[in-house]
Structure 1
Amino acid sequence: MRNQLENYTVGFWRILPQLVAAVVFFTFMFIVIRIVQWIVPKSLKKAHVRRALRDVIVMLLTVGFWLFTALITLTIAVPTITPGKALTALGVGGVAIGFAFKDVFENFLAGILLLIREPFSVDDFIECEGIDGQVEEITIRDTHVRQTDGQMVVAPNAMFFKNPVTIRTSTALRRTTVICGVAYGEDVDHCREVIIDAVKQVDSVRDDVRDVQIFAQEFAASSINFEITWWTGSTPLDIRRSRDKVVAAVKRALDDAGVEIPFPYQTLTFKEPLTIVQQSSGSDGDKNI
């Protein structure tokens, strides 16, 4: 037992210089990585590189430096392990890890591609696979979307990379439409002029950029329906506010012009004549006629 302890002690003192050198190298590289993480983002920001791409570059540099540090530190501490052997072992282990964490790596790579390509960015309103809301954060693994009802959805990046994504705020303006019906007895051309004048007076309607369009769409059950189309802000709140103002303005204008906005009528037809029963009350009590 004593000899074994002595062998351990001798062995420890023999490799102590290598361990000290490994710790010194690791500490030096830790400082270098911190400096890189501090300098590179500032330099890229001055070069007007967008934030998402800056984050990807810093992340790749950090991962590369840490991998280099781990290999060299291991080689210094254990000289029998060369970088080639370490990389071979890392490759074999990487295959096993890759199969075990396939979904994680898929989302990781999808996140890098999304950050580099940037099809949508933070504050954009998007819709994908039933998720509809504003992007609050894009990370390497997932994307955080705040839905219009206030709920937060954290979705894997692979979903946004593999499926079609509707970007509602890709431009400042978006087209919206409402349907308005007028009675069959009204003059169609006159109604069209009344409606289009009312829509143009709404402040949220951007008729300075795109024209307001109105078309007689169909002969409905109890009305002639007009399709009213205009351009306004692209956020969901802009759309709702603009529709509210347009509907109110069109209703007011049609009322002022004496135009009837119909509601469904129902006509009941019976095969046999109906007997009309009239009730009257007198001094002798109720009497049926």
Structure 2
Amino acid sequence: MIQDDTAAESAAERGAELSGGLDPVQLLTDTLTGMAAGFIERLPQIGLAILVLIITAIVSGLIGRAAGAGLEKARLRPALVTLFKNLTGIFVWVAGIAIAIVIVFPSVTPGQMVAALGLGSLAVGFAFKDVFENFLAGILILFRKEMRIGDFIECEDVLGKVESVTIRETHIRQPDGQLVIVPNAMLFTNPVWVRTDRKTRRAELVVGVDYDASLPAAADALNKALESCESISKSEGTEVKCIAFGGSSIDFKLLWWAGSSNKDQRASFDEVAFAVKRELDAADIGIPFPQVTLSQREPMALDTPDNLRKIEEG
């Protein structure tokens, strides 16, 4: 508690009286009387400080509504609008409380308050480092245009649809329906794959054909399969390329573009797989399964009596 010069003199007088052997009850009575007198003397200042706080509350509400209306016209995200409204209110309240403290305690200077706020903010910053890190990351994420509500993203081991973005955390709904609450710092400091940034996304399928099949005929059948699929974006184009001579097949890679959502990707893959099988069957081209061929350096005669006896004996 900060005391003015009068209070300091009263304390000195009480100390002198105590050293002279004053009765403790009388000392307590004098102390309470002095405090009551000091409180009564400060009543006008306290009343003015309360009035300042009431005005601060009114001004904070008016400025918050005005700032919110202006930011909504700028088509910012709702969470970002709420953030700016809260920050505006905090600044107004800090100014109002500082004025009220100066009114009640005239000996307090603005420099002392700034120093106290600096030390306090430093201590709070060390104590809540992770909270402030997520807070700042949330502000920066809210300014991003590339990651919107409803986008399907992948970050580290998290994969799902963005349901909401706040100033501290992001809610992501996984394909299996589970909700994952991710700290914003994780999304800001790690690579994020936004799979629905565009309306379409490329898909691929590797198909193997028999070694005795005609490669041009196989490529024509695979191209025909892609052309027959309605889920494929015709404007993006398709590709069918031979990529490898496998252990039991010649492999082709099919590339096409379909809707970027997971649902559209699954539906398109399913349609392409059915079309590929249908066209290859129509062209009498087989899709082989893995096979193993065994060879021997020297031919083995199986019709000699010794070999027949060994076979019978097992």
Normalised TM-score (structure 2)? 0.81
Equivalent in the alignment of 1:218: 244
Distance 1:262 1:223 in 2: 6
Is 1:61 aligned with 2:88?
yes
Assess if the C-alpha contact under 8 Å between 1:175 and 1:232 holds in 2.
yes
**Match runs of 1:130-149 below 5 Å:** 130-149=157-176
Assess if the C-alpha contact under 8 Å between 2:79 and 2:167 holds in 1.
no
Is 1:101 aligned with 2:153?
no
Equivalent in the alignment of 1:285: none
Assess if the C-alpha contact under 8 Å between 2:135 and 2:184 holds in 1.
yes
CA deviation string 1:208-235 (max 9, x = no partner): x211111011111111111000001111
Is 1:10 aligned with 2:21?
no
Distance 2:79 2:196 in 1: 18
Is 1:232 aligned with 2:251?
no
Q: Unaligned regions of 5+ residues in structure 2, if any?
A: 1-27
Equivalent in the alignment of 1:255: 281
CA deviation string 1:149-191 (max 9, x = no partner): 2222222212222221111111111101011111111111111
Assess if the C-alpha contact under 8 Å between 1:52 and 1:116 holds in 2.
no
**Match runs of 1:22-101 below 5 Å:** 22-101=49-128
Equivalent in the alignment of 2:269: 243
For 2:172, give the aligned amino acid: V
For 1:47, give the aligned amino acid: A
The CA RMSD over aligned residues, in Å, is: 2.4
Assess if the C-alpha contact under 8 Å between 1:98 and 1:105 holds in 2.
yes
Q: Unaligned regions of 5+ residues in structure 1, if any?
A: 278-287
For 1:140, give the aligned amino acid: I
Cα shift at 1:265: 2.2
Secondary structure in 2 aligned to 1:117?
coil
Distance 1:119 1:19 in 2: 52
Cα shift at 1:53: 4.1
Equivalent in the alignment of 1:281: none
2:182 to 124, 145, 155: 155
Equivalent in the alignment of 2:17: none
For 1:154, give the aligned amino acid: I
Equivalent in the alignment of 1:117: 144
For 1:124, give the aligned amino acid: D
Secondary structure in 2 aligned to 1:18?
helix
Distance 1:116 1:175 in 2: 28
Assess if the C-alpha contact under 8 Å between 1:56 and 1:116 holds in 2.
no
Secondary structure in 2 aligned to 1:58?
helix
Cα shift at 1:267: 3.3
Between structures 1 and 2, the one with greater strand share: 1
CA deviation string 1:6-59 (max 9, x = no partner): 222212211122222222211221122222332322222223344454344323
CA shift in 2, pair 1:257/1:276, >3 Å? farther
Between structures 1 and 2, the one with greater helix share: 2
Cα shift at 1:241: 1.5
Distance 1:74 1:152 in 2: 46
| Greater radius of gyration (CA) | 2
For 2:177, give the aligned amino acid: G
Secondary structure in 1 aligned to 2:268?
helix
Percentage identity across paired residues of the two chains: 40
For 2:42, give the aligned amino acid: I
